[in-house]
Structure 1
Amino acid sequence: MALRPCKSCKNTVDTTAKICPNCGVKNPGLSAAQKVFRLLTVLLIIAVVVSMCSIASNEKPAEEAAKQVAPTTVVSPAYSITKDDFQKGRPRKVEVMLPKRLDEVDLVEVAKAIRANTKIQADRTFIGFRVEGQSESTYWANVSFDPYATTSLFGLSAKDYESLKALDLKAYPNRTGSWLRDGAFGHVMVLYKQNGKYLIDSIFPSGGKNTTKYVAQKLPDGGLRLDDPESDFNEHYVVDAKDNLQGWGENGVYMTLPPFQPES
């Protein structure tokens, strides 16, 4: 039997006594610190038991969820190689057709894949890209490796192209036609009639706009010739019977743009 002073009256009592026989205080042999320690011990045991039960109950759902998660598949943008030329001692030259415009990150990834997917050992590689449906005959963009990748964009970026596709042309109720020039300074050309005169608004991705007045002349085949009276160049436009816009110069047709209808 262990003895110690009562926490209240200081008379010697058994540490297991429930009541002090002298002063009547409860648990006379148990100090406040010991009571707190016992309480914390009980709470800790309860917390450990609850935690173990929770982990056990969550393990199976977590395993099932992991099984149901589909693996992530990285899909490279589509492309087709239309020309691949290499002569020893000279750069490898590749021409590629894309189904749509890509941002710079995806463009470089495609170029890296083309460069790697060959048995040709070239120190330098030049890859020219065109986009299906583009009006310009030149490359839309190119990527050169010498040995690191350098990107050059010659036509409308993917972002600017989407911006022009979303144009709202409801402000042109007398619109005769609209066409997209997708070169380096790409824009949408809108032909309309105002106060008996023909005008073309050139609308750029930034929202900027240029307006040019034209003198119109009906052609025998049903087309429409448009001359800029203030231009010093011997050039003019023709809207043909199929609503294509042709650019004419001294050497004949230098540009043909099909009709363009924004999505909005």
Structure 2
Amino acid sequence: MALTPCKSCKHQVDTSAEVCPSCGVRSPGVTFLQKVFGFVLLVLIVVVGLSMCTSSKKAKAAEGPAQQSAAYSITKDDFREGRPRKVEVLLPQRLSDADLAEVAKAIRANTKFKADKTFIGFRVEGQTESTYWANASFDPDYKSSLIGLSVQDYQTLKGLNLKAYPNRIGSWLQDGALGHVMVLYKKNDKYLMDSIFASGGKNTERYVGKKQADGGLRLDDPETSFNEHYVVDAKGNLQAWGENGVYMTLPPFKPVQ
């Protein structure tokens, strides 16, 4: 048992005593300075704790959210021992080169297959071409190639201002390596089709139009002898016809402006 002088009567008391047995003062073994020191120490502990907590939150905020691969869904995953792994992927939207690389690496890593080579074909939801939008491969190093419209070119075409076509009949987006927007309009009783590219280039072609019984519009190129033509059906889709029937159908394209 440790003893200390009472802060009031100076008689020896237990340091843990709540009341002095001689004079009755409370907490006889704790002086005023000790109380002040204890309070200051407690405040310092609280301040340091709050400071550390705030710094940790700021550090996490500065780091930002953890990077995650863009969304995608695998529609086909084929692998046979001794052969390259072949994967087909559907993307909800076009990706930048960096995001495409991240997705490709995630697909390669998240599999039970042990393939030396991996080939990945990407398509985009709403894509008008049946071919891949982009390809990626690991052989073993990563390589990629863009087949359809890039993010930048797509946004450029999406933002086209078609107010210059007051007599516009319809517009369609054709994806692919030379993707462009096709605008059909009538001028001086003639049917004209402008092909507008993301680079700013434009081609104009003239067609002979003929109304069809089902409400569609057939467009023939007077300068070609091939049995190829366009048809704008009753729903506004643009169909490309050849000798073997329809080989391309483009839904109506509505730019932002």
The TM-score bracket by the shorter chain reads 0.7 to 0.9
For 2:208, what is the secondary structure of its paired residue?
strand
Q: Can you list the C-alpha shifts for 1:89-124, whole angstroms capped at 9, x where unaligned?
A: 110000000000001111011000000011211010
Kindly provide the amino acid, as one letter, of the partner of residue 153 in structure 1: L
SS in 1 for 2:163: coil
Query: SS of the counterpart of 2:113?
Result: coil
Matched, 1:147 2:140: yes
Please tell me whether residue 66 in structure 1 is matched to residue 55 in structure 2.
yes
CA displacement, residues 161-186 of structure 1 (integer Å, 9 cap, x when unaligned): 01100000000000000000011100
Match of 1:125 in 2: 118
In our comparison, the structure showing a higher alpha carbon Rg is 1
Partner residue, 1:51: none
Deviation larger for 209-218 or 150-159: 150-159
List, as ranges, runs of 4+ consecutive aligned residues in structure 1 with deviation greater than 3 Å: 59-65
Give the superposition deviation at 1:232: 3.9
1:192 aligns with 2:185: yes
Amino acid of the residue matched to residue 125 of structure 1?
A: T
SS of the residue corresponding to residue 114 of structure 1 reads: helix
| 1:261 maps onto 2:254 in alignment | yes
Which residue in 2 is equivalent to 1:97? 90
Aligned-partner SS, 2:116: coil
Measure the CA separation in 2 of the matches of 1:110 and 1:257.
Answer: 28
* 2:163 equivalent among 164, 167, 170: 170
In the other structure, the counterpart of 1:250 is 243
Deviation of 1:149 (Å): 1.0
TM-score for both structures, normalised by structure 1: 0.75
Distance in 1 between residues matched to 2:113 and 2:49, nearest whole Å? 52
Task: Determine the C-alpha separation between the residues in 2 that align with 1:222 and 1:60.
Answer: 76
- Partners of 1:68 and 1:108 lie apart in 2 by 31
AA paired with 1:123? D
5+ long unaligned stretches in structure 1: 1-58
Secondary structure of 2:181's counterpart equals: strand
Q: Aligned in 2, Cα 1:195/1:61: closer, same or farther, shift over 3 Å? A: farther
Secondary structure, counterpart of 1:160 in structure 2: helix
Counterpart of 1:218 in structure 2 is 211
1: distance between equivalents of 2:191 and 2:124? 32
SS at match of 1:109: helix
Q: Secondary structure at the match of 1:94?
A: strand
How far apart in 1 are the matches of 2:53 and 2:85? 51
Q: Which amino acid aligns with 1:226?
A: L
Q: What are the superposed Cα offsets for residues 199-237 of structure 1, whole Å, 9 maximum, x if unpaired?
A: 000000001000000000000000000011112432100
TM-score relative to the length of structure 2: 0.77
TM-fit CA distance, 1:68: 3.4
Query: RMSD value over aligned CA atoms?
Result: 1.6
Q: 2:223 is aligned with what amino acid? A: E
- Whole-angstrom CA distance in 2 between matches of 1:150 and 1:215: 46
The residue aligned with 1:83 is: 76
Q: Percent sequence identity over matched residues?
A: 70
Question: Aligned partners of 1:228, 1:114: CA distance in 2, in Å?
Answer: 46
Q: Which amino acid aligns with 1:248?
A: W
Return the alpha-carbon distance in structure 1 between the equivalents of residues 126 and 132 of structure 2.
Answer: 12
- Return the offset for 1:62: 6.3
Amino acid at match of 1:247: A
Aligned mates of 1:164, 1:206 — CA distance in 2? 9
